[in-house]
Structure 1
Amino acid sequence: MSETWAPEINGVTHTLGHLSRHLKARGMSLQLIRPRPRSTHHDALMSEELQVGAIPIPDYDGVSMGFPAPRKVAGLWRTHRPDVIYIATEGPLGLSALNQARRLGIPVISGFHTNFDQYSRHYIMLKVLSPLVRPFLRRFHNRSTMTLVPTKAQADNLTQYGYDNVKVLSRGLDCERFSPRQRDASLRAQWGADDDTPVALHVGRLAAEKNVLLLIDTLEAMRERQPDLKAVLVGDGPQRALLEKRLPWAHFAGFQRDQALARHYASADIFLFPSLSETFGNVVTEAMASGLAVAAFDYAAAGELICEDIHGKLAATDRPAQFIEAAVALCEDMASAREMGRAACERVHTLGWPKIGDAFIDYLLQAQEVNDGR
């Protein structure tokens, strides 16, 4: 059960897509419950799919929130009872699914994919509800058999806040797709860059929760030190117009997928990741696999995978000026940045999705065993 699904592009759909393909490859039948998309779309991986009514999330273009559908969900599960349910999002639809699963005695695993308490600082509806968000999320997840998070640090934080039975399910990486071999001189030429021109890349939603104001300040500081710097921003979002106004010299590539996305990564030199709202940050591992030195804050995927001055540079989460300094240092010494990029690629080349998919299956089986033992 998820409030977001392909063809929407975000970290949740990215992870769920890989996990679903792995389960299907292992011979499992999959059932999907999600909000009805704006255009007709049915996932071929699914044996069954229930789409429910939805309302767009205010200020968050392209993503909808599903209405509670207790009767439809209960009816589906009475006729086609699943062995275990994975709930990826904690909205009204997820809550109704959790309630029905508990009534029917079906084991549930919940996923902590999004830091909604961080997002609440930036979106009107969530800001109004912000005093209630953290306790609601804790109650929601504690009603499941276990909660999966992508990093040990996140597991420790949630456990300290009173979450029960938190387990780590890391994230994988398609190392065949994301590779320095995808570097494309003709794409760099479109950006106005030759072999020696430093290119800074950002991949992600262009939105307030991604800390785009710091991204602007960082790119301006980098260009002041390196006037020939090129900046490439992949993605879209409500802050794009602001970014285009403040960074008229940057190249805005919009959404990119698959091989085109891989070429954009590998054709850059430095990856900027100023977001402070992630549970993991798949783009960090994709950038590292593509041979880029990374400037990021010391948490989530970056905090677990990057060693200072070996794979990139890290800033303390409460020091935005240190982030700018890190990015500027990378562009001032491109020889070192490129060496860090090569080391970053080596660091992540073993992070395949099959191992993560098998770990997910183990958790599903554990949830069944716990439920059967009650």
Structure 2
Amino acid sequence: MKVTAPSPAITGQRHITIVSETFPPEVNGVANTLRYLCEELVRRGHYVSVVRPGQKQEDSAGFEATPDLCHQTLRVTGLPIPGYSDLRFGLSVPGRLTRLWRKNRPDAVYVATQGPLGVSAVSAARRLGIPVSSGFHTNFHSYSQYYGAGWLEALLCRYGQWFHNRTAVTLVPTRKTMAATQSMGINPVALWSRGVDCNLFSPAKRSQALRESWGLNPGDTAILYVGRLAAEKNLQLAVSCFERLKSLHPTARFVLVGDGPMRQRLAERHPDYLFTGIQRGEQLAEHYASGDLFLFPSKTDTFGNVVTEAMASGLAVVAFDDAAAREHIRHGDNGMKASLEDSEAFVSHALRLIDQPTFTRRIRTQARLDALDLDWATQVERFENLVINQPAEARHHVRHKQVTTV
């Protein structure tokens, strides 16, 4: 389908192309981040094009106009990711991207994922001398231990080093991830954090009707988890934590928002848990705001957007001292966090929150106040400076980088 959006050459806009194996309406941290990035870039006057695999229910590849997020989308053929059948990876199309970008040349390319599509995008951009940057959004190398393939971790680290070092700069969401990627031999890296939509995620969205549908009476506690129901999210700790809470507070309910390979097994073992499935937009915001205490047991996330969404919604968050919690939670002030090695402290923090309602109310209020400072506009301005506004330097750097062979 021919796109009728004006070309950046006519309007004077900068043209930024986002390449990703996952994109809205898919629900995950990468897709969520790219949604806000694209929306804000368009708002700031840029011409945004997206290259992504075809998703479920999309029966063909090709061009389409997506005015809500970007000016143009190129869908390529996608295949299911092993172990993540609801997500797809895009096939390598370097020749197609080279032809497309010769005809409609971007000022900069940002590659968010490391799959075959991302590799072909980096190759095409380098061939044409287009500044290309990458994002370190997911700790895929650390996932291998959760799927019986821990022996792959070293190889995946070497692959990540090779992939990212073919780009001018790799953007990372936290200072800890910056140190970790540098230790993997990835350089240069730059900090690009995440914002949160405090208009969407707000305590004002709390719904008594929804809480009643969960079987809660006034004064009962809703323990919330939002995210993928998968092994790498350390869900067994969340289950153990809730069982401890329930032994002392029998009316508490565990509400799990999301989907994934562990859902069926969890539902069979714990028929009293509430599984809402994937929620989006206003419905997701209502679910957040209708909870009381938020458990985030993951030790593998590079950021964890759900942490800041929960804070914006006025929830008391329990997490490990890692990723978004390390950056934004001050223990005992706007949330609770435990060291990565101390699962017992994680449980103890949740018990303290449910046992001390006055303390919890203070934390929830402060969490919302701190989230108000985490706006997306500031983060996208930084993205502009790192990816879009320095094309000459980026082009020179990527041509002269030493690239390690896999």
Q: What does the per-residue CA deviation read over 1:90-135, in whole Å, with 9 as the maximum and x for residues that have no partner?
A: 01111111111111111111000000112122246x6564331001
Identity among equivalent pairs (%): 42
Note if 1:294 corresponds to 2:325. no
**Aligned partner of residue 62 in structure 1, secondary structure:** strand
1:172 aligns with 2:172: no
Number of the residue aligned with 1:56: 80
> 1:80 maps to what in 2?
104
**One-letter identity of the residue aligned with 2:97:** V
**SS across alignment from 1:85:** strand
Measured after TM superposition, the shift of residue 29 of structure 1 is 1.5
Deviation at 1:349, TM superposition (A): 1.0
Matches within 5 A, 1:1-374: 1-40=19-58, 42=64, 43-44=66-67, 45-123=69-147, 129-371=152-394
Q: Any gaps of 5 or more consecutive residues in structure 1?
A: none
Provide the rounded CA distance (Å) in 1 between the counterparts of 2:270 and 2:316: 22
Alpha-carbon shift at residue 50 of structure 1 (Å)? 2.1
Name stretches of at least 5 consecutive residues in structure 2 with no aligned partner. Answer: 1-18, 398-406
SS at match of 1:113: coil
Q: Assess if the C-alpha contact under 8 Å between 1:185 and 1:194 holds in 2.
A: no
| Deviation of the 1:250 alpha carbon | 1.7
Counterpart amino acid of residue 25 in structure 2: P
Aligned to 1:56, what secondary structure does the other structure show? Answer: strand
CA distance in 2, matches of 1:367, 1:130: 34
Count of residues paired in the alignment = 373
Do the aligned partners of 1:29 and 1:46 also contact (CA within 8 Å) in 2? yes
**Aligned mates of 2:184, 2:272 — CA distance in 1:** 44
8 Å Cα contact 1:198-1:334 kept in structure 2: no
Equivalent position amino acid for 1:352 in 2: D
Coordinate RMSD, CA, aligned: 1.6
Equivalent-residue separation in structure 2 for 1:268 and 1:36 (angstroms) = 35
Deviation, structure 1 residue 372: 5.4
Q: SS of the residue aligned with 1:145?
A: coil
* Matching residue's letter, 2:333: I
Alpha carbons 1:142, 1:163 under 8 Å: kept: yes
Structure 2 residue matching 1:63: 3-state secondary structure? strand
Q: Which residue of 1 aligns with 2:401?
A: none
Q: Aligned with 2:365: secondary structure?
A: helix
Contact 1:173 1:286 in 2 (8 A): yes
What letter is aligned with 2:140?
F
Aligned-partner SS, 1:248:
coil
- Cα distance in 2, alignment partners of residues 110 and 99 from structure 1: 12
Note the C-alpha offset of 1:318: 1.7
